[in-house]
Structure 1
Amino acid sequence: MLSRTADSLFWLGRYTERAANVARGLSVASRMAGLTAELNHEGDEWRALLVAAGCEPGFFQKHREVTEEAVVDFLVRDPDNPSGIISCFAAARHNARTVRTALTVDMWSAMSDSWNHLRRIGPADFQGEKLPGFLEWVRERVLLFNGASMDTMLRGEAWLFVQLGTALERADNTARLLDVKHEVLESAAESTVAHGQWQAVLQSFSALRAYHWVFRDRITPARIAELLILRPELPRSLVASFNRVCEVLDLIAAEQDGRRGEPHRLAEELRAQLRQGRIEDIMEAGLHEYLTAMIINTAELGEAVQAFYIRA
């Protein structure tokens, strides 16, 4: 496979997953802002979301203060934000067009239809009361694309690079979203607001029902962290994401006569760290420190993939 083809497929997977992740972040910020409004801290939730998305510097280049309307607009439709939902779909569609012949009809239709809808929307279509419905639509469109990929694409290198981008982006988002909420999860104080915030964190990963299925007990911060970091049963957990990254890298190596390199070493190292981890040790050493290191390591792995497969 040509390196430029692998690059387009890799980023097609990353950008589609990123669009859904931004939608998830907006959903949880909206819920948590409502919960903390009585404490006059609702603006903190929107600023935390900007930090989690890596968009805070760009936001303050255009806005003087954090408001719900400004943050939502910046993370949905601002053309100067490359991590905004519409920008992600635009970049994903561009990469899809570049490798059109490698995609199935269903994959292309899912991406093209989503983009044709998004390019016509305005603020009135996603602000205020329409925000939850719009965010759910975004998540459904990404699920449709991912489902088309899983159900219709040949299991060759093209499919593997899409899967690699998706899994790596998912790992990065899980670490970022958990890190920005680390104070909520490190607090031992129980209250109605705290419990609502814990539920909102789980809902952002579509994991509230999964939590009760796995633990069959009341919600506690340490168990939330354990579920989202160390439990392989949850598809969006860190360990599940890196399990998938390693599986895909192994399959790509098999397609290339066993060729392996730095991405494989880094991915295996991160997976081993997660498999051997204990939530008690992580919480005692500091959840923020652990997740910050994981974000840095995930970025290094992404760079290693680019260097080994795309720029080599």
Structure 2
Amino acid sequence: MLGRAANGVYWMHRYLERAENTARLIDVGFHLALTRGDKQSADEEWKSVLTTTGQVEAYCRTHDDFGGPQVFNYLLRDKDNPGSVLQMVENARTNARVVRTSITNSVWEATNEGWMTLHDLLSRPVRESNLGEVLATVRRQSMLVRGALEGTMLRNEVFNFARIGTFIERADSTARILDVKYYVLLPSVAWVGSSLDNVQWETLLRSVAGNRAFTWLNPGSMDPKEIARFLILDGQFPRSLVFCYEKIRSNMAGLAKEYGHEVSAHELLRDAGARLHQTSIDEIFEGGLHEFLQDFIGKTVEIGNMIAADYRFIE
């Protein structure tokens, strides 16, 4: 497979996953802002959403405050924001067009229809009254493409590159959400164990679509350490760090089988995955959760860059 085509499939699915993750972050930011007692605290919550997406500095160059509608319109539809959901969906469609002959009609149609739907929906400023509808549409369109991929694509190199892109982006997103949110959720230790405490932890889980799965496994519990363990080490949850790395490993193995050899990224991934599997949540907390997550994010970026180099992606 040509590097340009591999790059197109890989980034098509990274952009779609990133758009969905951004929508989930906006949703959690909106709900947490509603629980804050004053505008300053609500604005801090919106600022943390921008921080998680890595866009706070760019936002501050053109905006003076962190009011909700201003922030979520910037993240969703601002034409001058290359990290907006609308731009990411357009980038996914552009990449899909590049690899049009490598993907099925169903995958192309789902991607193209998703772009048309969101282009129309985001042609006007989003208000708080229709924010929920817009975010649900972003998530739904991403899932439709993912469903088309799972249901119609051959399990070949194209499928493997698509899945690798999806899970590298998802692993990075989960780590960043947990890193930014974990220590800023509670306004005071006095809230620990209160109804507000539980609402905020539940909203954190909601940002990664994990609130129901967590309560199934941990009925009646909202223990912070257990939530961290769930998001990092639970092999059943499809957005945990362990799960994402296992899927990347599986699809990288598929590439090795198809091409007849491994590349440098295989060894890098194997080492990172082994360290992740061999650690415990107690060891992570003893060494520092922030330090662990920063190391994980750096290693995930390194793996992505190595894959691009090994398979000669062309930007």
Name the TM-score, length of structure 2 as normaliser. Answer: 0.94
Q: CA RMSD in A?
A: 1.7
**What 5-or-longer segments of structure 2 have no aligned partner?**
none
* 1:264-279 matches, cutoff 5 A: 264-279=266-281
1:228 to partner: Cα distance:
0.4
1:185–1:222 CA contact under 8 A, matched in 2: no
1:198 to partner: Cα distance:
0.1
* 1:6-21 matches, cutoff 5 A: 6-21=6-21
Residue equivalent to 2:148: 148
Of 283, 287, 308, which aligns to 2:285? 283
Residue equivalent to 2:44: 44
Q: For structure 1, which segment, 78-87 or 35-44, has the greater mean C-alpha deviation from structure 2 after superposition?
A: 35-44
- What secondary structure does 1:235 align onto? coil
Q: For structure 1, which segment, 281-290 or 20-29, has the greater mean C-alpha deviation from structure 2 after superposition?
A: 281-290
* 1:121-136 matches, cutoff 5 A: 121-122=121-122, 124=124, 126-136=126-136
Change over 3 Å in CA distance of 1:237–1:122 after alignment to 2: closer
For residue 271 of structure 1, what is the amino acid of its counterpart?
G
Change over 3 Å in CA distance of 1:105–1:272 after alignment to 2: same
How many residues in Structure 1 have an aligned counterpart in Structure 2?
A: 311
Residue equivalent to 2:207: 204
Of 274, 294, 297, which aligns to 2:296? 294
Residue equivalent to 1:254: 257
2:121–2:134 CA contact under 8 A, matched in 1: no
1:73–1:123 CA contact under 8 A, matched in 2: no
* 1:51-62 matches, cutoff 5 A: 51-62=51-62
Give CA-to-partner distance per residue, 1:148-187, whole Å, 9 cap, x none: 0000011111111111100100000000111111205798
Change over 3 Å in CA distance of 1:217–1:269 after alignment to 2: farther
2:118–2:138 CA contact under 8 A, matched in 1: no
Distance in 2 separating the partners of 1:194 and 1:275: 30
1:197 to partner: Cα distance:
0.6
Change over 3 Å in CA distance of 1:218–1:311 after alignment to 2: closer
Residue equivalent to 2:242: 239
- What secondary structure does 1:62 align onto? coil
Residue equivalent to 1:25: 25
Distance in 2 separating the partners of 1:88 and 1:82: 8
1:82 to partner: Cα distance:
2.2
Distance in 2 separating the partners of 1:213 and 1:92: 34
1:190 to partner: Cα distance:
2.2
* 1:56-71 matches, cutoff 5 A: 56-71=56-71
1:85 to partner: Cα distance:
0.6
Q: Does 1:162 align with 2:165?
A: no
Distance in 1 separating the partners of 2:206 and 2:47: 19
Distance in 2 separating the partners of 1:255 and 1:264: 14
Distance in 2 separating the partners of 1:117 and 1:72: 18
1:38 to partner: Cα distance:
4.7
1:111–1:145 CA contact under 8 A, matched in 2: yes
**What 5-or-longer segments of structure 1 have no aligned partner?**
none
Distance in 1 separating the partners of 2:121 and 2:143: 20
Residue equivalent to 1:215: 218
- What secondary structure does 1:119 align onto? helix
Residue equivalent to 1:174: 174
Distance in 1 separating the partners of 2:273 and 2:78: 36
Distance in 2 separating the partners of 1:206 and 1:311: 31
Change over 3 Å in CA distance of 1:159–1:74 after alignment to 2: same
Could you list the structure 1 runs, at least 4 aligned residues long, displaced by more than 4 angstroms after superposition. 122-125, 184-188
- What secondary structure does 2:57 align onto? helix
1:40 to partner: Cα distance:
4.3
2:69–2:126 CA contact under 8 A, matched in 1: no
For residue 96 of structure 2, what is the amino acid of its counterpart?
A
Distance in 1 separating the partners of 2:259 and 2:119: 39
2:9–2:162 CA contact under 8 A, matched in 1: yes
Q: For structure 1, which segment, 244-253 or 186-195, has the greater mean C-alpha deviation from structure 2 after superposition?
A: 186-195
- What secondary structure does 1:120 align onto? helix
Name the TM-score, length of structure 1 as normaliser. Answer: 0.95
Distance in 1 separating the partners of 2:45 and 2:306: 33
